[in-house]
Structure 1
Amino acid sequence: MRVKILILTNLFPTPWDPQRSPFNRQQFERLGQRHDVEVLAAVPFQERFTRAYSHVEIPGLRTGHFVFVYPPRVGRALHASCWLACLLLQHGRRLRDEHYDCLLASWAYPDAVAVSRLAKRMGIPYAVKVHGSDLNEQANDPPRRRKIRTALHGAGAVIAVSQALADKAVSIGAEASRVHTLYNGVDGERFMPGSRSDARARLQLPATARLMLYVGNLKQAKGCIDLLEALPALLVEQPDARLIYVGDGPCRELLSQRCAALGLQQHVELRGAIPHAALGDWFRAADLLCLPSHNEGVPNVVLEAMACGIPVVATRVGGIPEVVPGYAGILVAPRETSALAAALREACQRDWDSKRIALHGGSFRWDDNIDRLDTILQSVATESPAFDTGAMA
């Protein structure tokens, strides 16, 4: 059965952030091959008026955006109301005439909270997809936790990217029978093993240096500073080691300053954001991927690196332990620089089985993911919505 789905989220490419959330782009694009899918992305007002515009077009999807205006720094309890008000002011009349079969919110707060209220207004069912810090951090605040609980409890399905996150959703108030663990997938045509020397030649990287790769947002919670602080201890044993950061974010300047203070300029590069389609060579060129996040769901870069046969050094948080077996990486506690440095040293000395790692990473297939997502959303779309009386709270 073909259904009409409206996806509402802040995690999707926009004209002001075209590289945002490639995992959602890949998933929703594939879902659009089976159903009539429209995606509306929430764009924070600061981003809308401070970043350059670039055209974004995704085959098979109707896409759009709305500008999300909210009180900065204070008034976070009002964000869901602001989110919904902005959406309705900019798209409300059209949305009422579209006759969607179901809504999907991808992010718990404020997105899912606002979507739960929108679904009640429209009289249609909704599902919620949760990713990591939207529950692990946002739900730690009591007022927000209550709103998130109501949104999860009223959802026809809650889709979690890890079992740890699924358990968290149930503990907050989601009905266990409606919670599904659905790991993201890997594009097997882009992320596969290949020649390290050829990849380095294409990227103009040193042929013999020990190369560690960080891919992701440059922010404190991703552990990018922790990784830099761990590097000097590794250089004692691996003086040719190089650390390359692929990504951008608020910590970029701090990383540059700290790198200079530690005298690491010859060993560290900040390459900036790179299109998702070009990441395959970066993984194949690396000796290992390093992602010492403080909290996570299941980062797709971990799955993609393993699919390329690259081992992972990461933190034992969120769903990472569920997807990184001992033969594919080393996990440490977050925020422990000495343990991270020891793990990097061990990883550089260990003889990894790249074929086994690639076989494991490649087992996370988008086709399997979409099959299950398709089944879940069709089930939600065919159910009568049962709205909690507290949904408008």
Structure 2
Amino acid sequence: MPYNIAMVCDFFFPQPGGVESHIYQLSSKLIDRGHKVIIITHAYAGRTGIRYLTNGLKVYHVPFFVIYRETTFPTVFSFFPIFRSIMIREQIEIVHGHASLSNLCIEAILHGRTMGLRTVFTDHSLFGFADAGSILTNKLLKFALSDIDHVICVSHTCKENTVLRASLDPLMVSVIPNAVVAENFRPLSQLSPGTHQRNAPGPPPRISPQDPITIVVISRLFYNKGTDLLIAAIPRIMALDLNVRFIIAGSGPKAIDLEQMIERNVLQDQVELLGPVRHEEVRDVMVRGHIYLHPSLTEAFGTVIVEAASCGLYVVCTRVGGIPEVLPGHMTEFAKPEEDDIVAATGRAIAALRAGKVRTELFHNQVKQMYSWTDVAQRTERVYDGISGVLSPDQFYQGVGAAGAWTATRGRAGVQSFALIERLKRYYGCGIWAGKLFCLCVIVDYLLYVVLEIFAPRSRIDLARNWPRKELPDTNTKSKDTDMTKAESGITRKRSARQRRERKGEPGDD
């Protein structure tokens, strides 16, 4: 059953990053599965209006003011007229927001629920509970997710963090990890398909003490990415092994501190700074190294370490957040987020490579079997079926005992009600003062929606012509084709009828 989906986030190409890559790859695979997907983000330098990417993926670059780290200025209501026009024009059924720091995402979820659209949120980050910034962010996240249909997290640690931050029922949060296009991250010496010399048995060649070891770092140069730890560790790592070289790619406010460290220790010949690199250039940088160093202080998943392992690099990373869930132990050397432990872990990794104890030439095929964007798209599609009522709660939760209680809180179909009074009840429970403020925002948003429906009726908005849909993959045998077609047609009619009733505020008959 094809859906019309809008991915909404402040962070998207041409800016490089894990969230940006996740949105693009997921959208592309959903299109391959027969769905219609558009992306809504803010305007970037040289990119405004509507752009088409590969596979017919349409991107709306909304010209909103950016204040910090590519995040737009929060206005709450001014985005609604543009958002409504896009939703009607593209006949969107599901709004899928990404990243808790994205203002466009939070506003799109609010406006989407007001318009009677199903909403999904994917969290890619971890946040604390003590500092002022985290407290404010968590309150805004609670506001956004109080009326959400379902939440997706990229790791189990991320799920635990999100459930606590937004006071969510764990049943409404699924874990779907990131993935990697392994074919785009092949080792430098990877042979062409069909040859097996690279996987031949036998110990790998040792790296002699005279051979240089190159350590690669590709990251945004911010505090939370562990740049301060990196700056402190580099001179000490080089003091332990004089044949170590560093290649560092990325940009950020900590870049000046990194440059000062290099000048202070006269390491210009041993540390190469590349500055920002495009995502398609990441593989070319990685294959120049032997070790990938990832000293992050907090990380929900860490897609870059999967890309590094796929390129045949031995990964040294901090044991924080969801990173321990990402790769098996034989591909990684873990360290505490401390200077001494990072230096020690890097030393162990160098020694293991020189002794030939690590079979990095096997990493690529192993990563290829572990992660697939097609699998991520299938699991996300199942979430869409669950929130739309196509799957019953028992089917969606696969017989989880609490599914009955969960259904009781959402109605017989197990999906969120669009009734204004029900929405206000959910927002009112967000706090003594915050709950009243959130209810006021929802009421104003609803009144604005009514005004727009009167003075900018849907009949005046032209519907966009759809890119030709792809056929959904058929895994059934020929004898079952007729029965499956009838069943899918019935489910499609059932879903369409339910959506019409919900938008009109009529009770369902499920």
**TM-score, normalised by the number of residues in structure 1:** 0.84
Amino acid at match of 1:354: T
Match of 1:358 in 2: 364
Pairwise CA distance, 1:137: 9.1
The separation in 2 between residues aligned to 1:183 and 1:139, in whole angstroms, is 29
The separation in 1 between residues aligned to 2:36 and 2:105, in whole angstroms, is 21
Match of 1:337 in 2: 339
Tell me, what secondary structure is at the counterpart of 1:141?
A: helix
Residues 64, 137 of structure 1: CA spacing in aligned structure 2 closer, same or farther, 3 A cutoff? farther
Aligned match of 2:100 in 108, 112, 129? 108
Name which one, 1 or 2, has greater alpha-carbon Rg.
Answer: 2
The separation in 2 between residues aligned to 1:268 and 1:378, in whole angstroms, is 50
Pairwise CA distance, 1:236: 2.1
The worse-fitting range, judged by mean Cα deviation, of 231-240 and 145-154 is 145-154
Q: Aligned pair 1:183/2:177, yes or no?
A: yes
Aligned match of 1:264 in 245, 267, 285? 267
Match of 1:318 in 2: 321
**Identity of aligned pairs, percent?**
23
Structural mapping, 1:120-135, within 5 Å:
120-133=113-126
Aligned match of 1:95 in 63, 87, 99? 87
Please list the CA deviations of residues 220-278 of structure 1 after superposition, one character each: whole Å capped at 9, or x if unmatched.
21112321321122212321211111222222222212211222211111112223223
Could you say what the CA RMSD is over the residues aligned between the two structures, in angstroms?
3.0
The separation in 2 between residues aligned to 1:247 and 1:361, in whole angstroms, is 24
The separation in 1 between residues aligned to 2:315 and 2:67, in whole angstroms, is 39
Gaps of 5+ in 2: 191-209, 390-412, 428-437, 442-510
Pairwise CA distance, 1:319: 0.8
The separation in 1 between residues aligned to 2:278 and 2:41, in whole angstroms, is 19
Match of 2:502 in 1: none
Q: Aligned pair 1:2/2:8, yes or no?
A: no
Amino acid at match of 1:255: L
Pairwise CA distance, 1:208: 4.2
Structural mapping, 1:171-320, within 5 Å:
171-172=164-165, 173-195=167-189, 208-320=211-323
Please list the CA deviations of residues 106-163 of structure 1 after superposition, one character each: whole Å capped at 9, or x if unmatched.
0123344322311222111100000014678999633432331232242221111111
Tell me, what secondary structure is at the counterpart of 2:298?
A: coil
Does structure 2 conserve the Cα–Cα contact (< 8 Å) formed by 1:11 and 1:21?
yes
Pairwise CA distance, 1:90: 4.0
The separation in 2 between residues aligned to 1:138 and 1:296, in whole angstroms, is 18
Match of 1:28 in 2: 27
Does structure 2 conserve the Cα–Cα contact (< 8 Å) formed by 1:153 and 1:175?
no
Does structure 1 conserve the Cα–Cα contact (< 8 Å) formed by 2:187 and 2:311?
yes
Tell me, what secondary structure is at the counterpart of 1:32?
A: helix
The separation in 2 between residues aligned to 1:22 and 1:94, in whole angstroms, is 23
The worse-fitting range, judged by mean Cα deviation, of 155-164 and 318-327 is 318-327
Gaps of 5+ in 1: 197-206
The worse-fitting range, judged by mean Cα deviation, of 90-99 and 258-267 is 90-99
Residues 68, 230 of structure 1: CA spacing in aligned structure 2 closer, same or farther, 3 A cutoff? same
Residues 133, 167 of structure 1: CA spacing in aligned structure 2 closer, same or farther, 3 A cutoff? closer
Match of 2:489 in 1: none
Pairwise CA distance, 1:293: 0.8
The separation in 1 between residues aligned to 2:26 and 2:68, in whole angstroms, is 31
Match of 1:204 in 2: none
Does structure 1 conserve the Cα–Cα contact (< 8 Å) formed by 2:64 and 2:73?
no
The separation in 2 between residues aligned to 1:269 and 1:94, in whole angstroms, is 45
Please list the CA deviations of residues 295-340 of structure 1 after superposition, one character each: whole Å capped at 9, or x if unmatched.
1111211111112221111111111011133211112222x11111
Amino acid at match of 2:59: T
Match of 1:202 in 2: none
Please list the CA deviations of residues 330-368 of structure 1 after superposition, one character each: whole Å capped at 9, or x if unmatched.
12222x111111111111101212145334422111121
Tell me, what secondary structure is at the counterpart of 1:324?
A: coil
Residues 264, 358 of structure 1: CA spacing in aligned structure 2 closer, same or farther, 3 A cutoff? same
Amino acid at match of 2:371: F
The separation in 2 between residues aligned to 1:86 and 1:219, in whole angstroms, is 31
Match of 2:155 in 1: 162
Q: Aligned pair 1:149/2:142, yes or no?
A: yes
- How many residue pairs align between the two structures? 370
Residues 344, 229 of structure 1: CA spacing in aligned structure 2 closer, same or farther, 3 A cutoff? same
